[in-house]
Structure 1
Amino acid sequence: MATTRITGSAKQTVVDFLEKAGEACAAFQDKTLVNLPCRVLQLDEIWSFVGCKEKSKKTAKGKHAGDIWTWTAIDAETKLIPSWRVGDRSARTAMDFCNDLADRMNENGEVQITTDGHTAYRMAVGNAFDLGRTHYAQLIKIYGKDENGMDIVTGIKREPVFGKPDLELCSTSYVERSNLTLRMGNRRFTRLTNGFSKKVANHCHHLAIHHMNYNFCRKHSTIKTTPAVAAGMADHRWTLEEVVEMIDRHHADIMNARFEAAFDAKFTPERTAPKTYAPVAPKLPWYLQGFPNSDEKGGTSEKP
């Protein structure tokens, strides 16, 4: 609504543009973030909800997605977020997320992965990544009660899963900090407000825009440049004007492709002569058909 008041545009116009921007940002990053040189990855998932919380779905009006989780990965060295996935907290979503992440890594490089103690990660990481080049460990948090009876973390345990992980690099601090950046910089993740997503599709579009800005436009305070530049995926820090130009090019290419497809569908090839107009060899009588000196069309190869 704030954008509507500032620009004077209709609400649906703003929503339509955000949808197109999200589609373009998602497609661009899906195409660009490949063959990555990441060596130390941290994985985690952040909670939010669409429409209403899970416990309110039975009494809420209409159909809502309820609780939803955003799975993210971050490179501890370049601070790049190479992949994210929206879904539930099941093993199936973990598999989809880890398969997409593994496909984006350099085929010849080794990688160390750290996750929390969520059991879905064990099978997902083991199935998606090459066991010979992957070192995986889990950082398991030990919970207890404080003096008020609230759950608190009383300790941690670093547990190797497979490979030879360096336990000194076994941490989830960077990915948890990036989740805080996501929650603070994205109104849809802010707690106790009415800015939450009402549709899963719009939730995903906004995530694509957020990660486009994070990876390519926003200078990270630690590395003094953007994560995309640090990872070699861009040669300069992008401006928002360049992002808008990329969005326009993306949808212009889509329109051109649709026009060419429609033109090809309506194009009628040049008419050819019907078979009845083609010259036909004289047909031999039935008693000469199949004679050794006759050809396949019924003619003879030798003159009588």
Structure 2
Amino acid sequence: MKTDLNVVTLILTLLIFGCPLPAIVMAFKIDERTLAEWLDKAGEHARRVQDHLVCQGQLDLGQVQADELWCRSQRGVVWVATAISVASRLLLWGSVASGRTEAMIAEVVQHVHRAARLQSPILWATDGFATWKGQILRFFRSTVLSGRPGRPRLVEWAELHIVQVVKRTYGQRIERRLAFGDLFEALHMIEVTQGKRGTVNTAFVERLNATLRTWLPALTRRSRHAGTDAQRLERRFFLTAVAYNFVRPHRSLRVQVDGRWVERTPGMVAGLTDHPWTIEELLRFQVPPLHTAA
């Protein structure tokens, strides 16, 4: 890259945590197109890291909250769908699209399905957007063999539950409802992941989205640093997402061990790593190549 690794790491660290691009250009006298190329390469690498470490089908996710946010880009409005595991605060996946489309929701649900341990109990909490329920029921199914010829029947997971939080625009009314599964089991999972005062809500994913808006200026609704297009915004999103999962400790996840506080990242709580990463560790992480059949 014809640039010292320490300089690249420092600049990417500043960009990941919300430093405006023009400030980097002025401070380091590096062309804006060069910085954009670095972000594209690092973001594509971060996407592979996220897919390799998180979406391996080994996680007991418990309660998953999902939501969408939108922002303005230089080419119109862009939507971002995200999903988070409440217990570990792990950002599971995100998808960027030019509209609030079914394909965007399907990509998020599919990757959460890949991350979840097979047939493990899972509670989905979403807003009132009906596409979430449809895609969850589409992916969280298993085949039931009957011994008869023909295509086997698909049945939803026995421990799958879906709750919805519908916010009305009149009267400041919030409706909480069970969309699928068993209400008693859903409330029990909420108590396990949120505590006895927990309730049906999407507060954790909304807090995540607020963090993403802080770290990623392009996600701010009124910003002078709007993203250029959905593809580039998606790369920057995954770079921020991996830093959120593995680099920066989360205040609510710290625990007291032998009289001292131990800072933990969502990746540590989920059992994916045993220490907070540095940005250099993230950039140097080697994702095994995909093995394709000859």
TM-score normalised according to structure 1 size:
0.71
| Residue among 243, 252, 270 paired with 1:231 | 270
Q: Which amino acid aligns with 2:139?
A: A
1:47 equivalenced with 2:58 (yes/no):
no
| Residue among 205, 223, 243 paired with 1:193 | 223
Call closer, same or farther: CA 1:172–1:117 in 2, change over 3 Å.
same
| Residue among 169, 182, 185 paired with 1:164 | 182
> Matched residues in 2 for 1:220 and 1:78: separation?
10
Q: Structure 1, residues 206-235: CA drift from partner, whole Å, max 9, x if none?
A: 101110110000111101210000001111
Contact 2:83/2:108 (<8 A) preserved: no
1:221 equivalenced with 2:251 (yes/no):
yes
1:96 — aligned with what? 107
- Give how far 1:202 is off: 1.4
Higher strand share: 2
- Structure 2 residue runs of 5 or longer lacking an equivalent are 1-21, 142-155, 191-199, 255-263
> Matched residues in 2 for 1:67 and 1:8: separation?
31
Aligned to 2:250, the other structure's residue is in SS state: coil
Call closer, same or farther: CA 1:120–1:240 in 2, change over 3 Å.
same
| Residue among 113, 123, 143 paired with 1:112 | 123
| Residue among 72, 81, 86 paired with 1:71 | 81
2:13 — aligned with what? none
Contact 2:72/2:221 (<8 A) preserved: no
Query: What does 1:1-304 align with in structure 2 at a 5 Å threshold?
Result: 1-33=22-54, 34=56, 35-51=58-74, 64=75, 66-87=76-97, 88-130=99-141, 131=156, 132-144=158-170, 154-165=172-183, 166-167=186-187, 169=190, 170-224=200-254, 225-246=264-285, 249=286
> Matched residues in 2 for 1:102 and 1:8: separation?
44
Q: 1 or 2 for the larger relative contact order (CA 8 Å, sep ≥6)?
A: 2
- Structure 1 residue runs of 5 or longer lacking an equivalent are 52-63, 146-153, 258-304
Q: Which amino acid aligns with 1:140?
A: V
TM-score normalised according to structure 2 size:
0.73
CA RMSD, 1 decimal: 1.9
**Which has more radius of gyration?**
1
Contact 2:96/2:231 (<8 A) preserved: no
